[in-house]
Chains A and B, each alone.
Chain A
């Protein structure tokens, strides 16, 4: 059975974060999260944001940046109005 659209989006987000931070894929018990994933600090955050913007051809607004802290919150943000167009 093919994965759902939501699952595919989450996989793309995860891969984008891994690429941005140049880290190995984490195990299921260690979800990707700002502040706890190695390298995902204040500096790493913008790398993550820019890689996500490339992956989804979108542009986040400044006030949205603090909310992009893990895969579920990013997935939620990507379907919000105003995100998805440059």
Chain B
């Protein structure tokens, strides 16, 4: 069944993608969403069982549109660097080709396994990023994949990004419930079928970013000098029906270099990070641009938060071209948080709340964009990348 939601005003072109990404979250029943020509309406379908929710879903779509647009400030994206030339004539979608090579397998929405070539490629990227970390004398730290709900609460994550959360539960410590679970829990073809009453409350979530743990680590302290560290970790962001191949994973790997100190220290190092990113992407021979961006804040807060981020130049994304779709994929970002985390976690530097920043690379997205531009045959890849892959592979044997 097809229905139409009429919007109060046309969605500006630059907000269209952001708007459409939010629509899977308006209802579990929504399907096959399409922005109509002129951007003043949305066509959608409802899954079986949700047919009577047409008016509700239409009104929610209209509400999301209104909230996104109400304080929207158009234009003025800043592009710091750009390279348009693609390194090869390869234009195919690499996903099926990598699967044929035994390098990629899907385990479900947003969950993939990787073979040795892709792992070596990601490790090659990582080894180059680690050279920058070494230049900053940034020691390596590790953090758990689980993050306390208290930590995310302190950084207002629940308010700003509720839709992407992956909550962690376990079965309650109750012998009767555990016995019942062993008897009744089973996979019903779509999900684990069991009594939800046996679930515990939520103490932890799967961490959506690497750097939060570092701010929590430094919490309630006064830094005698700025701190810079590096860490790699799994990150988890649920993206509903937007989950798509390696472009948008639920579970992905992020390498970060994290800075904490006075504001000018962060800004100085951010410049070095962006210069490094330009050099790194040029070495990879890929087409890219580094452009100001905003985080996907929840619709209720999006317009104001996005305007602030853009106005203060807080976020720049490393966008890599995907020739098979013509889209650009954010494979990394440089982020300046001002004193947000310093205040949230009570970290002082230089007599005031510490400022923070990070340079982050999504390794699976880096690999996808690289392979999409260079092709899946490593004989056509830049020598330096292949050399790094061999070095890493030899170290891993």
Taking Cβ atoms with an 8 Å cutoff, the residues of A that contact B are 41-42, 45-47, 49-50, 59-66
Contact = CB atoms under 8 A, between A and B. Distances in A.
Contacts of A63: 76, 311
B312 A65 contact: yes
Interface stretch (B137-145, B272-280, B338-346): B338-346
Contacts of A45: 308
Nearest to B311: A65
Contacts of A50: 71, 304
Residue with the greatest number of chain A CB neighbours at <10 A, chosen from B305, B311, B312, B343: B311
A61 B307 CA distance: 9
Contacts of B343: 41
Interface in B267-324: 304-305, 307-308, 310-312
B73 interface: yes
A61 B311 CA distance: 8
A62 B311 contact: yes
A74 to B, nearest CB: 14
Contacts of A46: 304-305, 307-308
A65 B313 CA distance: 10
B307 A62 contact: yes
A61 B338 contact: no
B332 to A, nearest CB: 22
Interface string B337-362: 01110010000000000000000000
A64 B335 CA distance: 20
A4 B308 CA distance: 32
B350 to A, nearest CB: 14
A60 B308 contact: no
How extensive is the interface on chain B, given as a class? 10 to 19
B333 to A, nearest CB: 18
Contacts of A41: 339-340, 343
A61 B338 CA distance: 20
Contacts of B305: 46
15 contacts: A41-B343, A42-B308, A46-B305, A49-B304, A50-B71, A50-B304, A60-B73, A61-B73, A61-B76, A62-B73, A62-B310, A65-B308, A65-B311, A65-B312, A66-B311
A45 B310 CA distance: 13
Contacts of A62: 73, 76, 307, 310-311
Nearest to B338: A42
Given A60-B73, A62-B307, 11 more contacts: A42-B338, A42-B339, A42-B340, A46-B304, A49-B304, A50-B304, A62-B73, A62-B76, A62-B310, A65-B308, A65-B312
Residue with the greatest number of chain A CB neighbours at <10 A, chosen from B305, B307, B338, B339: B307
Contacts of A49: 304, 307
Interface in B241-283: none
A62 B309 CA distance: 9
A60 B308 CA distance: 11
A45 B308 CA distance: 8
Contact of A59 (B73, B312, B340): B73
A15 B183 CA distance: 65
Contacts of A59: 73
B159 to A, nearest CB: 10
Nearest to B77: A62
Contacts of B73: 59-62
Given A59-B73, A60-B73, A65 B307 contact: yes
